[in-house]
Chains A and B, each alone.
Chain A
Amino acid sequence: MTSVDRVVAVSLAAALLASTALTASAGVAVGFGGVEFEGDETAVFNENSEELPPGCEEVSGDADVTVSAASAGYGYPLFEYHPPSVEVDACERVTVTFESQTRVRHQWIVRGLPEDTYPDGYFGVEVDGATEESATFITPGEQVTLPVESSVGSQSESGLRGQVKVDGGDGDVDGIPGLTQHGWREADDGDGLPGSFYSGALGFLVGVALVAGGRWFDLI
């Protein structure tokens, strides 16, 4: 081993040890391998604290809401929002603080908002890792229930579903763990027989028909 090789080997070992120690101390994925990230990453989508949605003549009031995303254990649900249902007034300016109690990325996305005010009809907050972020939106000027979900991976199917009830809402969103759903959804079209069964049955019937026809006309 040359001196250069030794220097490289020592450097490698030192870097590995330093990185491992950094990882252990950081806990969450911040600078875990020597690269210094700026911190936990968060994002806000379509924040709006000024523009009034259709049906609103003025902001009816201000409210603060805190929602968290948490693991719920293995099985169903895997994740859940606390609280899953949020009650607000129409035309209310709502500041949402969304926090994650897990180590992975989550979102709190309110869908079904007026597209004139919210591009693509949604407002949301994203947090990556055990951190929090706040953002503000103004609720619609009508009595409505808006679905809430996380679009990350299959988190929505795994329990991250909720609702925002404006002025009491107009019903409950389907599929919220503990409120309107109590297990994995059962598909209504997943129990069909395999395609080969139908092919075999078709072949059987055609075979019977051919022979029966042949006998009927005294061909066989």
Chain B
Amino acid sequence: MNRVHGAFILTAGFLLLLALATSTAPVAADSVELECAFEHPEWRADFSASVMTVALEEDAVCMPDEPRGVGVSVLGANNAADSLMVETSLSERAVGKDQDMDGDGDYDVVDMELEITPVGERPEEVEAGSFYGWGSGDRRWLFAPKTRGVGVDDAAVRPPSPTLRFEEGGLAFIWVENHHRVSHEMDWGGVTVGTSRTPLSADDALHPGDSGMYTLRPSTPGVYIYRSTRNAADGHMGLGGLLIVEEDRPENQLQSYNVGGGKVRAPAASVDDAYDAEYDLVYGSRNHRVTEASEVHDDPDRVMEVAEQEGGAVDEHLLNGRSYPDTLKESLLVAEEGDRLRLNVGNVGVDDVTVASEAGDLSVYDYGTGEYSDVESVELAPGDAEQLRLKVGDVDEPRPIYVEEAGRYGDDAATTLVASPSSIEEGLPREVPFESSLGERDGEGVGSQASLFALSIGLLLGALTALAASVVLRRRRSMEVDV
């Protein structure tokens, strides 16, 4: 053995360690049918002929929105039949609609109440009725339609925050109640906020237990973001959602809440005219340290401390609160070749995302000119939102809509699929079926995570330290021999 052999062994060891650290450990075959355990398959049906007087489109995903809740979101709780309200956990104050101010056959004044709430698993000790367990179990923070009852009903309260829809020229009175133990502050993303806003604190914050009313005058159609920008943890924990102002049309009944994002089951009149279906895609980010801090610490100051330490660091991107393949449960896009889909995309996280598609041709809608511009991808900084059109290509083999940053965070980051009904019956792939390789999609490749960097630096430092120690020892020995 000589120094060349030694250097070879050292290099091989380094590469082995690097390979172990960078492996993403895919666990399944290319195409395995995903299981769907959902107790309400009847929710997927076309409810056009139902007694709700609201036509809801079919939603073929595993976990569609609860149709009666969607009906209440369209009608307003004050106009919905008691039988409809009984079936939902929505409060009567979740949404109310009244006053056809422009006489075009639809309500123009919308009242809403949102609750800022954490969601996560509560300690088992609490549910079991014994003593309180540690921490809150917060996994995500969100704005939720006001609900009633004990516990959290996933049908009405689940990440991300619901997409809110208003009509151009209308009025919206939105109460926001902060049930969270952290102070927050509303940012309505550029939508005109009236002067009658009445937050309770002098510093514009919604402190825990506070409620404030915001009067929105949605005068310009577009796709916006509403979110809290009070503290460093808000973006990490996903406290934001899409706010869409639809063009004023006659008899334009809007779905005021789209809980969980995904398909809009009661699209606006302008969408019906120009598209075959509409989807809300809310991109977010997650930092595991901040999430962990929120899970185990009651003290909000401790959570803020960790969030400020982490800054803009991101461990993964999320689409509608999930990673692939969980995104397929609710955010799968079902379409045939040639369909035109309206995609409302927005970024409520702390990191840029670049949305791209292998499912067809993307274009961005310019609300100012009314024109579409073909694009390869769309970059969204935190707080950005756009309306996209997807002209669906051949999706008999499901094709992905993904974020290019997947190269850094793994193929499952914020990806969903566009699939034809027949391909869904054949089973959806457990792994993302990319046409292009990872390297071609993203030049950065894998390996920029903090732990990998630390591992490499540690390895080099360790090797250098041992080498230096070895050299010192040999010199001492040679000096001893000389003496």
CA distance A151 to B200 in the complex (A): 24
Instruction: Provide the residues of chain B in CB contact with A156, threshold 8 Å.
Output: 126, 132
Give how many A-B residue pairs fall within 8 Å (CB-CB).
Answer: 282
Interface string of B84-116 (1 = CB under 8 A from A): 000000011100111101100000111101011
A220, B7: Cβ atoms closer than 8 Å:
yes
B109, A78: Cβ atoms closer than 8 Å:
no
A207, B209: Cβ atoms closer than 8 Å:
no
Q: How far is the CB of A219 from chain B (nearest CB, A)?
A: 4
Interface residues of B in 450-481 (CB under 8 A from A): 450-467, 470
The one of B91, B148, B173 that contacts A33, using a Cβ cutoff of 8 Å: B173
B5, A219: Cβ atoms closer than 8 Å:
yes
**What residue of chain B has the Cβ atom nearest to residue A11's Cβ?**
B101
Q: A23-B196, A174-B132, A219-B9 are in contact. Are A196 and B454 (CB under 8 A)?
A: yes
Q: A153-B118, A154-B117 are in contact. Are A190 and B455 (CB under 8 A)?
A: no
Instruction: Provide the residues of chain A in CB contact with B460, threshold 8 Å.
Output: 203, 207
**What residue of chain A has the Cβ atom nearest to residue B149's Cβ?**
A43
Instruction: Provide the residues of chain A in CB contact with B452, threshold 8 Å.
Output: 199
B177, A206: Cβ atoms closer than 8 Å:
no
Number of residues of chain A lying within 8 A (CB) of chain B: 85
Interface residues of B in 280-335 (CB under 8 A from A): 289, 292-293, 296-300, 302
Instruction: Provide the residues of chain A in CB contact with B293, threshold 8 Å.
Output: 190
B134, A187: Cβ atoms closer than 8 Å:
yes
Interface residues of B in 1-44 (CB under 8 A from A): 1-3, 5-7, 9-10, 13-14, 17, 21
B458, A202: Cβ atoms closer than 8 Å:
yes
Instruction: Provide the residues of chain B in CB contact with A200, threshold 8 Å.
Output: 454-455, 457-458
CA distance A201 to B49 in the complex (A): 64
* Contact size range, B: 35 or more
- State whether the Cβ of A71 lies closer than 8 Å to any Cβ in chain B: yes
21 pairs from A and B in contact (CB 8 Å cutoff): A8-B169, A12-B101, A16-B217, A29-B211, A34-B109, A35-B76, A35-B78, A102-B209, A149-B126, A157-B136, A157-B298, A184-B302, A186-B299, A196-B453, A207-B465, A210-B462, A211-B462, A211-B466, A212-B470, A219-B3, A220-B467
**What residue of chain A has the Cβ atom nearest to residue B288's Cβ?**
A195
Interface residues of A (CB under 8 A from B): 8, 11-12, 15-16, 19-20, 23, 29, 32-38, 41, 43, 45, 71, 74, 76, 78-79, 102-105, 107, 109, 111-113, 121-122, 124, 126, 128, 146-147, 149, 151-158, 161, 173-175, 183-190, 194-197, 199-212, 214-215, 217-220
Q: How far is the CB of B287 from chain A (nearest CB, A)?
A: 11
A79, B209: Cβ atoms closer than 8 Å:
yes
- State whether the Cβ of B130 lies closer than 8 Å to any Cβ in chain A: yes
Given A78-B181, A104-B179, 12 more A-B residue pairs with CB atoms under 8 Å apart are A15-B108, A43-B149, A79-B209, A103-B211, A154-B179, A158-B298, A184-B298, A185-B298, A187-B298, A200-B455, A211-B466, A219-B1
The one of A32, A78, A113, A212 that contacts B111, using a Cβ cutoff of 8 Å: A32
Interface string of B114-135 (1 = CB under 8 A from A): 0111100010001111111011
A15, B213: Cβ atoms closer than 8 Å:
no
Q: A154-B118, A199-B454, A212-B470 are in contact. Are A32 and B173 (CB under 8 A)?
A: yes
CA distance A185 to B21 in the complex (A): 36
Q: How far is the CB of B442 from chain A (nearest CB, A)?
A: 22
Instruction: Provide the residues of chain B in CB contact with A211, threshold 8 Å.
Output: 10, 462-463, 466-467, 470
CA distance A104 to B149 in the complex (A): 14
Which of A43, A104, A146 has the most CB atoms of chain B within a 10 A radius of its CB? A104
Instruction: Provide the residues of chain A in CB contact with B196, threshold 8 Å.
Output: 16, 19-20, 23
- State whether the Cβ of B338 lies closer than 8 Å to any Cβ in chain A: no
B458, A41: Cβ atoms closer than 8 Å:
no
CA distance A124 to B465 in the complex (A): 65
A153, B116: Cβ atoms closer than 8 Å:
yes
Q: How far is the CB of A108 from chain B (nearest CB, A)?
A: 11
B1, A78: Cβ atoms closer than 8 Å:
no
**What residue of chain B has the Cβ atom nearest to residue A30's Cβ?**
B93
